[in-house]
Amino acid sequence: MTDLARLDLIGHAELIRRGEATALELLDAAIARIEAARDLNAVICDLFDRARDQAAGPLGDGPLAGAPFLLKDLGGTIAGVPERMGSVALREHVPAETSVVVGRYLAAGLVVAGKTNTPEWGNHCTTEPVLFGPTVNPRAPGRSPGGSSGGSAAAVAAGLVPAASGGDGTGSIRVPAACCGVIGLKPARGRKTFAPDAGHLLEGLVNEHALTRTVRDCAALLDATAGGVPGDPYTAPPPAEPWLRALERDPDPLRIAWTADGPFESTTDPEARAAVEQAARMLEGLGHRLEPGAPSFDTEAVVDAVAVLHQVSNLDLYALAEEVLGRPPERDELEPTAWEMLEEGRSVSGARYAGAIAAVHAQGRRFAQGLADLRADVLLVPTLLTGGPPPLQHLNQPRGSTQEFFRVEFATTGWTAMANVSGFAAMSLPLGATADGLPVGVQLMAPEETVLLKVAAQLERAGALRF
């Protein structure tokens, strides 16, 4: 019998096309897995009745049609369905419109069974909101599942669904992918629209995609959802061919720069270092040229700019909460990190905000030019600098200032934020493990997605992906 808990989205859709199962049968099997795993606290909003209606209707014949799917409860808006963003202050928030990207998921025939847990406003690289409580990492109970897409990563790692959506502003897809031992791609800047609500988020730092168990699902989801809409401020250039088709061929030999060191003031755990070194050897064995080296940039300028952008973003979310509540949120309706960012954000001047945007652009260009100077096609680095997932109650704590909060975060996440700052595509793959069997993610970065997906598929075919 087919093990549905290990079958990917495309595999589910193939069962339906061959007449071996119906979408409703596959959905009910996923619902049973969700119900049996409530202790993970990964799914915090059930959409079972809505999903059954969807599964019973026409789904099309695309590569994903009929497969069960989950949406992160931050950015994955469906008209009339609550979107709480992990915040007590937004517990009554119900969007009036469905986002264009979610509409594309539905048009591809994905059956949305529910929404996944996320930290308040996506502020943390761990998923421990006061509103719903922490999500359990199924690979490492007692350790962080990562964030802010931790509920999605945990659901995929536990086999509740084959894939789930995520969003990434400083690593929020790749960090939980590394913590939970799944695949996480942050697309290039401008790859997807944020319509109808926004032109971009965090001045271009944020990108939306998914957590998956196979590379082909990652590519198929990108094919289904990429592209802008009229009026978007900018869009990424379209690929030469569909990403799913591109995976059928190994990449030409690439020049890959690599380092196991982090760019900020931090130390790489020996097991994270060993995972990167092993990945470098594997890639060299596959015919690629590996050269030590990495771009440099002004780390303090990045910390300060990212902090300022988050301070102002929290002010915007505070205004949304005030609108939803009909009054200003009270102190106990927001978590300490949000209050810290809000209090500092109120003193940010227009000139300081403009300076933060300019700093992000300047350091992003410096990073990109550094990789070009190395004549590298791809950068290979750790996803996290820790040996396995970091502890709980670490990445969600206020630090006295937003800048210090991000210094602590970046000391753990290392290179992840630079893909957001530069606009590069970046992908975390489960290529390593600690001595006690915990997942260790390894990260690839490049200006666009095709080369990353082709390398990832090559590693997958070589049997290099763990978990």
The β-bridge partners of 168 are 207
Q: Rounded to 5 degrees, what are φ and ψ at 94?
A: -130, 110
Q: Residue 160 carries which side chain, given as an amino acid letter?
A: L
φ/ψ of residue 439, rounded to 5: -70, 145
Distance CA 85, CA 119 (A): 7
SS3 per-residue string spanning the chain: CCCHHHCCHHHHHHHHHCCCCCHHHHHHHHHHHHHHCHHHCCEEEECHHHHHHHHHCCCCCCCCCCCEEEEECCCCCCCCCCCCCCCHHHCCCCCCCCCHHHHHHHHCCCEEEEEECCCHHHCCCCCCCCCCCCCCCCCCCCECCCCCCHHHHHHHHCCCCCEEEEEECCCCCHHHHHHHCCEEEECCCCCECCCCCCCCCHHHCCEEEEEECCHHHHHHHHHHHCECCCCCCCCCCCCCCCHHHHCCCCCCCCEEEECCCCCCCCCCCHHHHHHHHHHHHHHHHCCCEEEECCCCCCHHHHHHHHHHHHHHHHHHHHHHHHHHHCCCCCHHHCCHHHHHHHHHHCCCCHHHHHHHHHHHHHHHHHHHHHHHHCCCCEEEEECCCCCCCCECCCCCCCCCCHHHHHHHHHHHHCCHHHHHHHCCEEEEEEEEECCCCCEEEEEEEECCHHHHHHHHHHHHHCCCCCC
CB 157, CB 166: distance < 8 Å: no
Q: Give the closest residue to 145 by CA, choosing from 458, 329, 420, 394.
A: 394
**Residue ranges of the chain with per-residue pLDDT less than 50:** none
What residue type is assigned to position 295 of the chain? P
User: How is residue 170 written in tokens?
Assistant: 């400083």
Comparing CA positions, the residue from 380, 379, 392, 390 lying closest to residue 434 is 390
Q: 255-258 and 378-382 as β-strands: parallel, antiparallel, unpaired?
A: parallel
Q: Which one, of 467, 410, 419, lies nearest residue 159 by Cα? A: 467
Instruction: Put the strands of the sheet holding 439-446 in their side by side order.
Output: 43-46, 111-116, 68-72, 163-168, 207-212, 183-186, 425-433, 439-446, 378-382, 255-258, 289-292
pLDDT at 76: 83
pLDDT of residue 432: 98
Place of tokens 């539905």: 106
Q: Which of 124, 113, 110 is nearest to 43 (CA)?
A: 113
- By annotation, the residues acting in catalysis are 72, 148, 172
The pLDDT value recorded for residue 265 is: 85
Cα–Cα distances in angstroms (integers) from residue 152 to residues 18, 54, 188, 200, 295, in the given order = 28, 21, 20, 22, 31
Angle between the N-to-C axes of helices 336-345 and 299-325, in degrees from 0 to 180, rounded to the nearest 10: 100
d(CA 118, CA 125): 10
pLDDT tens digits for range 120-160? 999 999 999 999 999 999 999 999 999 999 999 999 999 99
